């Protein structure tokens, strides 16, 4: 069976889970996210990783906010 690079497994080892989030494995382990155990493997669930990422605050203007007024004022546009 060919490998599909767009496929994300439901359960991931620390290295894959960290890569999925864009952080280091040591940072991932420091987050104290819930893990599942399968034999000797500690596995992170994709839904828990997504929930952690979704809870991160945005930095800067968010979609749906109106920052156009400052630009309009700067360019003297009504």
Instruction: Read off the pLDDT of residues 33-71 as tens digits, 9 standing for 90 and up.
Output: 999 999 999 999 999 999 999 999 998 876 665 666 666
Q: Give the total number of structural domains in the chain.
A: 1
Residue 6 has what pLDDT?
A: 77
Q: Which among 14, 12, 43, 47 is positioned nearest to 28, based on CA atoms?
A: 14
Residue 61 lies in a domain: no
Residue 32 lies in a domain: yes
Residue 48 lies in a domain: yes
- pTM (predicted TM-score): 0.69
Residue 68 has what pLDDT?
A: 63
Residue 2 lies in a domain: no
Residue 23 lies in a domain: yes
Residue 7 has what pLDDT?
A: 84
User: What's the mean per-residue pLDDT of the chain?
Assistant: 86
Integer Cα distance of 77 and 35 in angstroms: 54
Integer Cα distance of 34 and 21 in angstroms: 15
Residue 46 lies in a domain: yes
Give the domain range for residue 22: 8-55
Residue 72 lies in a domain: no
Residue 60 lies in a domain: no
Q: Are 12 and 35 spatial neighbours (Cβ–Cβ below 8 Å)?
A: no
């Amino acid at each position: 069976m060919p490998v599909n690079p767009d496929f994300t497994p439901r359960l991931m080892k620390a290295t894959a889970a960290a890569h999925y989030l864009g952080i280091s494995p040591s940072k991932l382990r420091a987050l104290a996210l819930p893990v599942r155990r399968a034999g000797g493997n500690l596995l992170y669930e994709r839904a828990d990783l997504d929930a952690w990422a979704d809870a991160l605050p945005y930095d800067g203007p968010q979609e749906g906010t109106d920052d156009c007024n400052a630009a309009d004022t700067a360019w003297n546009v009504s």
